[in-house]
Structure 1
Amino acid sequence: MKTLQFTIPVAHDRTVIIQEDRMPHFYPHLHRHHEAQLMWILEGKGTLIVENNMHSFQENDIFLIGSNQSHVFKSNAEYFDEANVKQVRSISVFFDPKGKLASLFDLPELYLLQRFVKDYESGFKVPNEHFREVSRRILRLKEASQLDQLMHFFFLLRTLSLISEQATALSGGKSSSISENEGIRIGSIYHYIAQNFMKPITLDEVANQANLTPQAFCRYFKKHTRNTFVAFLNEMRVHEACKKLTQKKCESISSVAYTCGFNSITNFNRVFKSVMGNSPKEYMVNFKRNIA
């Protein structure tokens, strides 16, 4: 399992790093880095796990990940199939607010941008209605060079700051600081759940992944994620169900329930409503209405 702390490749002639990635699937391990990251999904679908929160992602979603915020863009299972011809693609903007940019943020004229970066350390998803505006800023930044690139970066930050109050937060706040070894263990747990949530998972099985007894695992998981194992597992299953319910080829609610690991329709309906606030059928109706 990869270590939690991740090092972004450094360009010594750049303060802001723009990176375009094209690969079979996104980096599959929970990780963090000193740099904040603005990530535009060009191709690919899956679940973003940030701290102890989950969000579905798809093409043309843009997320701001805070500095040192634990996260993983977990691609859907089909992207890990060797016979799969799909790929993922993204453009990321990395910047360290406490690195070379710190002295610039201290300038009185940039106080509002400094405040924005600090206030939104927990990250957010860019609202869909602002996608065109933000993506255009990212492309201008990517195509610029030297001084122009830095200027476009501040224009991008200003745009993000103006829309931030309308954005959906990625987490309720920073989790407690964890060590590298703890990060490896938690990442291993997340990875195991993400690969096996569609079938029955016992507490003994997942505790074994962390080399803990079931009782110790429950305490450990709750301490480091502020969530119970069952609640986390159910939320991951519900997020997968949401993706399937909104697909054109969705067969039925019952087939989605069993495919996502639920053992009864009654249990699926109850858990789905507790997580999403409405029933699976209401969710489908609302989605179709919004699309229309």
Structure 2
Amino acid sequence: MKILQFTLPVAHDRTIIIQEEVLPHFYPYLHRHREAQLTWIIEGTGTLVAGTSMHTFAANEIYLLAANQPHLFKSDPEYFVPGSNKTIKALTVFFDPDGRLQSLLDLPEMKKLHAFVNQQQHGFKAPSRLTARLSAMISEVALQKGPSQVISFIRLLETLQAASEHLITLAFERSGNHVSESEGIRISTIYNYILKNYNKPLMLEDVAATAHMTPQAFCRYFKKHTGHTFISFLNNIRINEACNKLTNGGFGSISTVAYSCGFNSITNFNRVFKSVTGNSPSVFMESYAQKVN
């Protein structure tokens, strides 16, 4: 079996790299690269894993993933159903702050902008009130060529820097420069197995076996590298998926959502849901409905 890379190469024949995606689903494996990426989700829903943090994502949202930050845009399960006509659309700007851009950012006039870029080690989500403006600027960067593209990109960074206090942090740990390639592949294998099987009865022994460890050794390893216990990480994934399903409105009841996300009792689901979100599922739904209205 071919082992997937944890660090994926991004072509760098340009200072600013643009990637447009129209696909059945996002790349389904945890990975990292030395470039930071600013991604505008044009169409698609799912869960974003950034480091060891998880967030639901939806259309018309903008995220920055830091250089070398392990991440994964996990499309919802219905995107993988055979014959599904669902698609994702995204526009991403890749840039390496320590590469060709560094000499530009080292200019005295770029001092504040350079400091802002260096501070973005945790990733962020842009506030929704800025989405229209930022998406227009990302589109402009994608359309431009040569010096005009670099100028448009600097203006985009300036807009983000001006709104820095309103940016929503994605992860609490710094980006993963300290994670070796071999460790990254092992962690990626564990994450991907859990993300694929979260909605089934998932035993510690099964997950430990994917990492070729005893359950005891796996628990120590997982806690050291993620800051989570296996159970807390699994519960976070399940509750993130539950929140997504509850807000999408495609399920008949809360209990249906609970069982579809891997919980074996509604009582346990309610308890875990409140411990993760701070609210019961019914209060969460009422709050969401009020926001939508």
Separation (CA, whole Å) in 2 of partners of 1:106 and 1:173 = 26
Offset of residue 81 of structure 1: 2.3
**Offset at 1:164?**
2.2
Residue of structure 2 in register with 1:145 after alignment: 145
For 2:110, the equivalent position in structure 1 comes to 110
Q: CA deviation at 1:37?
A: 0.2
Q: What is the identity, as a one-letter code, of the residue corresponding to 1:132?
A: A
After superposing the two structures, state which structure 1 stretch, 80-89 or 197-206, moved more: 80-89
CA distance in 1, matches of 2:272, 2:211: 26
Indicate how the Cα distance of structure 1 residues 74 and 249 shifts in structure 2: closer, same or farther if over 3 A, else same: closer
Q: Are residues 1:3 and 2:1 paired?
A: no
Deviates more, 1:161-170 or 1:63-72: 161-170
Question: Shift of the alpha carbon at 1:179?
Answer: 1.3
SS at match of 1:278: coil
Alpha-carbon shift at residue 248 of structure 1 (Å): 2.8
Question: Could you tell me how far apart the structure 2 residues matched to 1:232 and 1:283 are?
Answer: 21
Shift of 1:231: 0.2
Cα separation, 2, equivalents of 1:74 and 1:215: 29
SS of the aligned residue for 1:82 comes to coil
Distance in 1 between residues matched to 2:11 and 2:106, nearest whole Å? 25
1:255 maps to what in 2?
A: 256
> 1:83 is aligned with what amino acid?
G
State the partner residue of 2:56: 56
Q: What is residue 183 of structure 1 aligned with on the other side?
A: 184
What letter matches 1:41 in structure 2?
Answer: I
Q: Do structure 1's residue 198 and structure 2's residue 199 form an aligned pair?
A: yes
Separation (CA, whole Å) in 2 of partners of 1:272 and 1:108: 49
**Does the 8 A contact of 1:175 with 1:225 survive in 2?**
no
Shift of 1:195: 1.0
SS at match of 1:25: coil
How far apart, CA to CA, are the structure 2 residues paired with 1:98 and 1:175? 14
Determine whether 1:286 maps to 2:287: yes
Q: Which 5+ residue runs of structure 2 have no aligned equivalent?
A: none
Shift of 1:84: 1.3
The equivalent of 2:99 in structure 1 is: 99
* 1:118 alignment partner, SS class: helix
- The superposition leaves residues 53-107 of structure 1 with CA deviations (integer Å, 9 ceiling, x where unpaired) of 0011111111000011111111112222232111212110000000011111111
Q: In the aligned structure 1, how far is the partner of 2:188 from the partner of 2:125?
A: 22
Across the aligned residues of Structure 1 and Structure 2, the Cα RMSD in angstroms comes to 1.1
Q: Which residue of 2 aligns with 1:132?
A: 132
C-alpha displacement at 1:173, in angstroms? 2.3
State the one-letter code of the partner of 1:58.
Answer: A
- Give the letter for the 1:221 counterpart: F
Identify the residue that residue 39 of structure 2 maps to in structure 1. 39
Cα deviation, residue 282, structure 1:
0.8
Aligned residues: 290
TM-score under structure 1 length normalisation: 0.97
Query: Which amino acid is 1:237 matched to?
Result: R
> Given the superposition, is the C-alpha separation of residues 31 and 220 from structure 1 closer, same or farther in structure 2, using an over 3 Å criterion?
same
- 1:77 and 1:195 in contact (8 A); partners too: no
Q: Which amino acid aligns with 2:104?
A: L
TM-fit CA distance, 1:175: 5.8
Matched residue, 1:232:
233
Structure 1 residue 276: deviation in Å? 0.8
Query: How far apart, in 2, do the equivalents of 1:218 and 1:75 lie?
Result: 27
2:23 is matched with: 23
Paired position in structure 1 for 2:220: 219
Kept after mapping to 1: 8 A contact 2:122/2:175: no
Is the CA contact 1:126–1:168 (under 8 Å) kept in the aligned structure 2? yes
Whether the 8 Å CA contact 1:36–1:94 is kept in 2: the answer is: yes
Give identity over the alignment, percent. Answer: 50
What is the distance in 2 between the residues matched to 1:166 and 1:282?
26
Q: Is the 8 A contact 2:65 2:123 kept in 1?
A: yes
Secondary structure of the corresponding residue to residue 212 of structure 2? coil
Unpaired stretches in structure 1, ≥5 consecutive residues? none
